[in-house]
Amino acid sequence: MQAQADTPKPMKTFMLIWSGQAISLFGSAIVQFALIWWLTQETGSATVLATASLVGLVPPVVLGPFAGVLVDRWSRRLTMFIADGLIALATVVLAYLFWIEAIAVWHVFVLLFVRALGGSFHHPAFQASTVLMVPKEQLTRIQGFNQILEGSLGIVSAPLGAILLGVLPMQGVLAIDVGTAVFAMLPLLFLAIPQPDKQPAAAGQAATFWLDMRAGLWYLWAWPGLLLMMLLAMLVNLMLVPSTSLLPLLITDHFGGGALQLSYVHSIFGVGIIVGGVGLSAWGGFKRRIVTSLSGLIGLGAGFLLMGLAPANAFWLAVCGGFIAGGMIAMVNGPVRAIMQAVIAPEMQGRVLTLVISLSSAMAPIGLMMAGPASDWLGVRTWFMFAGVVTLLAGTAGFFMPVLIHVEDGRSDESAPEQSSQVSVMGETAVAD
């Protein structure tokens, strides 16, 4: 939307929408904790917990590229509204099943799948809209605020979820999520979200769904730094997604803890995210954002390694590892998201962001399929230690990859739209190859 680039960004609109989404996320985080703990208590199986994470990863991996094209074509405001509504409706159905005592493990899997399905459209729509409402020089700080929110969710939602499980039936906990979803949906009814100008089709061709998808693929392929950043994310997801999914079993099997001990780790992880997010918002990071991210990746690996190394009688050491990991993940995620939002052309944001998310997330199911049985056989600690070492080494290796260090130099703000108008032609060759 070229006209918008010359006018002040509607930051007030963004903050109102962001606030509604933040309230909704608190309800969702409480329910997520409650459901995972219910699965842990009902089954005690690492494979079941890995499967729960797996069903939540299928939609973004499989549908992500398609969702990105549609997000760039559809009203982003309407996309977010429908996604929020779909998730709330599925939660109501699950609450009813708990109420009539007809619940089964697979019902929880279905809800997790639907939540991920809605998120596959909601997340890219919100992220792609952010760059049109927030000045580019403020994107890193906004991502710092997002990390603060994520940390707050970890601090409040886990203990509150544990407390609510003791005083409310599961359907009561689920009702909280439905209520908070209203706060996310109401602003979307009344506030306008800018839409980017659509790129004209190259060589006189009418824009089609497949040409748009090829355009996103070529845009990513032609930017080596972004491609390498995505490959690094794939490796990290392969290691760390299973670790976070198996945390309840680390607490119960190794440390002999319960819901409160699990909530302690979630909370201290959240405190770490807030500390990292506040630091990132105040500091802004290194001049090259990727340096901030790689430094955080090294610390993230060290945190998970410490959690795995902690002896059974040193739960406090695992808590320290959770704090380190939380603080470092804010330093990893914020700059990476800011890089993509700042440099990717606005009309390409939906496609490219979902491609990056889908391809990097595609490794997580593989990791879960390996980690579940491996942890049942070798123990959960083994995976935590292995994942920590690999992540630490990956962050270190990134400093020796010039194309990654110079990722922000790959495309300038001026050249990106022009290049994106060529991709529907060049994409034919890229796909054929």
3-class SS string, the chain: CHHHHCCCCCHHHHHHHHHHHHHHHHHHHHHHHHHHHHHHHHHCCHHHHHHHHHHHHHHHHHHHHHHHHHHHHCCHHHHHHHHHHHHHHHHHHHHHHHHCCCCCHHHHHHHHHHHHHHHHHHHHHHHHHHHHHCCHHHHHHHHHHHHHHHHHHHHHHHHHHHHHHHHCCHHHHHHHHHHHHHHHHHHHHHCCCCCCCCCCCHHHCCCCHHHHHHHHHHHHHCCHHHHHHHHHHHHHHHHHHHHHHCHHHHHHHHCCCCHHHHHHHHHHHHHHHHHHHHHHHHHCCCCCHHHHHHHHHHHHHHHHHHHHHCCCCCHHHHHHHHHHHHHHHHHHHHHHHHHHHHHCCHHHHHHHHHHHHHHHHCHHHHHHHHHHHHHHHHCHHHHHHHHHHHHHHHHHHHCCCHHHHCHHHCCCCCHHHHHHCCHHHHHHHHHHC
197 in a domain, yes or no? no
201 in a domain, yes or no? no
Q: What is the pLDDT of residue 135?
A: 77
Cα 222 to chain centroid, rounded: 24
196 in a domain, yes or no? no
Q: What is the pLDDT of residue 413?
A: 41
Yes or no: say if 37 and 165 are a contact pair by the CB < 8 Å rule.
yes
338 in a domain, yes or no? yes
Q: What is the pLDDT of residue 98?
A: 94
198 in a domain, yes or no? no
Q: What pTM did the predictor assign?
A: 0.64
Intervals of the chain under pLDDT 70: 1-10, 197-207, 209, 410-433
Yes or no: say if 134 and 9 are a contact pair by the CB < 8 Å rule.
yes
Q: Is 221 exposed, middle or buried (0-12, 13-18, 19+ CB in 10 A)?
A: middle
Yes or no: say if 178 and 30 are a contact pair by the CB < 8 Å rule.
no
Q: What is the pLDDT of residue 425?
A: 26
CB atoms within 10 A of CB 370: 14
Q: Which domain holds residue 340?
A: 2-191+207-432
356 in a domain, yes or no? yes
Q: What is the pLDDT of residue 371?
A: 83
Give the total number of structural domains in the chain.
Answer: 1
Largest CA distance in the chain: 69
Q: What is the pLDDT of residue 71?
A: 80
77 in a domain, yes or no? yes
Q: What is the pLDDT of residue 432?
A: 28
Q: Which residue has the tokens 């940390």?
A: 151
Q: What is the pLDDT of residue 97?
A: 95
Q: How far apart are CA 424 and CA 162, in angstroms?
A: 51
13 in a domain, yes or no? yes
Write the CATH number for 224.
Answer: 1.20.1250.20
